[in-house]
Every structure is written in C-alpha cells, then in structure tokens.
C-alpha cells in the first residue's frame, strides 16, 4: 500500500518543525548570531551518486539515510570495531548488487547484525520501516519529484518520534543526489553541524556547555541543553536558507567543513542525529 500525506504539504511540515524549534530555543544556552548568518556563502559540494541509475540511487539514498546517525558512546573519537558510516555505505553497496528489494534487505541485515555497531536494534528497526511502509518500486519512480518523495517519507513512523522529525534527513539525502534542486525540506540536526556552526560564529554556546563538550559529557537525549543545541542549529540553518541557499547544498557544505575543525562535537546517544 502506498502512503500519502493528507492535508500536509511540504511547506506546512516545514513550518511545524520551525515552530517546534522556536519552542525549544534557549538563547541563554545556545544563541544564533544573525549578523554572521548574512556572511555565510556556502559553495557547491559534490553530492552522493553511486552510479546505480537514478531510480536505484533514489532508493539507496533513502535506505542509507535510515542508517546514518550518531555512532558515539563516550569520547568523540570512539567507534566500536571501527564501524562508521563508510562501512555502512559499503555494506549497502554490496547488497545493491542483488536484484530484488527483499534480497537487498536480507543481505544488508545479515551483514550489519554481525557487527558491534552502536544502536544496532534501532538501525534494524528503521531499515525495516522503510520496506514495511514504502512501496520501493513506486518510490523509485519519483526520483525527480522531491515533493512526492517527501510525502511518502513523512508517513514513516520514525518521523513521529523526534521533536524535530529529524528523519527529514531521509529526504535531504534523497534530494542531495538530485542536482540540489530547490526544495523546502528542512535541514536535519547532526552531531557535526553544531560544531561547525560554532566555529563559524553562527552559534554562541554558553561557558557551561563549552566545558561539558570539552570534557566529553554525554548530553541526555531531549534534555533542555540537547534540545537547545538542536533547535538553535535548525533555526540558524533555516535563516541561512532564506538567503536563497538550497538546504541540501547547505547541509552537505556544513558537514564537510568538519574536516577543517579540530574541536570536539557534543555527544548524545541517539538516533536523532
């Protein structure tokens, strides 16, 4: 059965997330510098294209995004068994050599279950959600239709869990391979992007937050401080996109800036990043 969104346009969904972000915004903890925002001029970054053909690329991006979230338990450089996002991509690419969606599903799950990756059960659940709630043959046909793709993605149960419906990351990763066309999909919150925004001067952290990050403090998911970081990140990204900057391009550009920054990012054991 193909899911659709009734009475929920992409713009309406974006507005809901923005309103929630402002409800959680605590400038005394993390604030947004509007002056710096006007100076941000991201450049085009290479986007993900795994040469699978447009329809299979579209599905690959969706499945990959369902698996890409925070890997960290303690310190910012710790990954069990060296498992990271690149390993997940490799597993999925190997599975995509098979023909049917169900064969891909079984092969990937067999591989990932043999690892010691963090939040394994959560990854399995989110991966299965895609297969159970989206007709992938139907979804693949809309590789050039951002709005229709997002309508289907919005019906995933994972969207209803996080206060910012961070699983919009699914849609952003999908649109990121589509030549960065204009889209109203909101920028997802990520564990690296707040760090980059802080370095650029877009976000201002109070001294207590800075001290906790330096000491590898693990922020509790949905706590006041963690929500303050996420909401400020989202609000700042939204303001930047109001200058005519595509959200998918901004997301990728910000994430790639992490390579030039040595400071630590904040830690949180969650699937929301």
Q: How confident is the model at residue 5 (pLDDT cuts 50, 70, 90)?
A: very low
**Distance between CA 154 and CA 12 in Å, rounded?**
12
Q: How confident is the model at residue 56 (pLDDT cuts 50, 70, 90)?
A: very high
Q: Which residue has the higher pLDDT, 174 or 135?
A: 135
Q: Which residue has the higher pLDDT, 252 or 176?
A: 252
Residues 143-165 have a mean pLDDT of 68
pLDDT tens figures, 64-87: 878 877 655 445 455 555 666 778
Residues 174-183 have a mean pLDDT of 50
Q: How confident is the model at residue 179 (pLDDT cuts 50, 70, 90)?
A: very low
Q: Which residue has the higher pLDDT, 194 or 180?
A: 194
| Structural domain spans, the chain | 10-268
Cut 0.85: pTM above it:
no
Q: How confident is the model at residue 6 (pLDDT cuts 50, 70, 90)?
A: very low
**Closest to 83 (Cα-Cα) out of 95, 71, 67, 70:** 71
Least confident of 12-21, 154-163, 243-252: 154-163
Contact 183, 146 (CB under 8 A): yes
| Owner of token pair 């499945």 | 63
Q: What pLDDT shows up at residue 29?
A: 96
Instruction: Annotate 244-271 with b (16+ C-beta within 10 A) or e (fewer).
Output: ebbbbbbbbbbeebbeeeeeebbbbebb
The percentage of the chain sitting over the pLDDT mark of 70, rounded to a whole number, equals 73
Least confident of 23-32, 137-146, 186-195: 186-195
Beta-carbon count within 10 A of 207 CB: 7
For 180, left (φ over 0), alpha (ψ -120 to 50), or beta? left
pLDDT tens figures, 235-255: 998 899 888 887 777 887 888
Q: What pLDDT shows up at residue 136?
A: 93
Cα–Cα distances in angstroms (integers) from residue 61 to residues 41, 46, 52, in the given order:
26, 15, 11
What radius of gyration do the chain's Cα atoms show?
18
Could you tell me where the beta strands, DSSP code E, fall in the chain? 30-32, 203-205, 218-219, 267-268
């Amino acid at each position: 059965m193909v899911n659709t969104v009734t009475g929920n346009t992409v713009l309406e969904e974006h507005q809901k997330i923005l309103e929630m972000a402002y409800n959680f915004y605590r400038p005394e903890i993390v604030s947004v510098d509007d002056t710096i925002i006007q100076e941000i001029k991201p450049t085009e970054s290479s986007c993900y294209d795994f040469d699978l053909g447009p329809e299979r690329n579209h599905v690959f991006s969706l499945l990959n995004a369902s698996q890409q979230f925070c890997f960290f338990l303690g310190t910012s450089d710790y990954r069990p068994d060296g498992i990271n996002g690149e390993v997940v991509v490799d597993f999925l690419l190997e599975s995509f050599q098979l023909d049917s969606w169900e064969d891909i599903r079984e092969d990937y799950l067999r591989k990932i279950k043999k690892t010691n990756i963090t939040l394994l059960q959560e990854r399995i659940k989110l991966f299965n959600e895609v297969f159970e709630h989206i007709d992938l043959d139907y979804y693949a046909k809309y590789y050039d239709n951002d709005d229709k793709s997002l309508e289907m993605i919005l019906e995933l149960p994972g969207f209803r869990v996080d206060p910012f419906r961070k699983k919009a990351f699914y849609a952003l990763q999908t649109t990121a391979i589509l030549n960065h066309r204009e889209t109203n999909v909101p920028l997802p919150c990520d564990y690296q992007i707040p760090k980059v925004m802080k370095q650029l001067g877009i976000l201002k952290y109070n001294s207590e937050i800075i001290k906790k990050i330096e000491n590898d403090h693990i922020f509790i998911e949905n706590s006041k401080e963690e929500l303050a970081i996420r909401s400020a990140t989202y609000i700042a990204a939204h303001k930047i996109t109001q200058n005519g900057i595509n959200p998918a391009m901004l997301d990728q550009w910000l994430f790639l800036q992490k390579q030039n920054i040595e400071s630590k990012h904040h830690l949180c054991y969650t699937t929301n990043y």
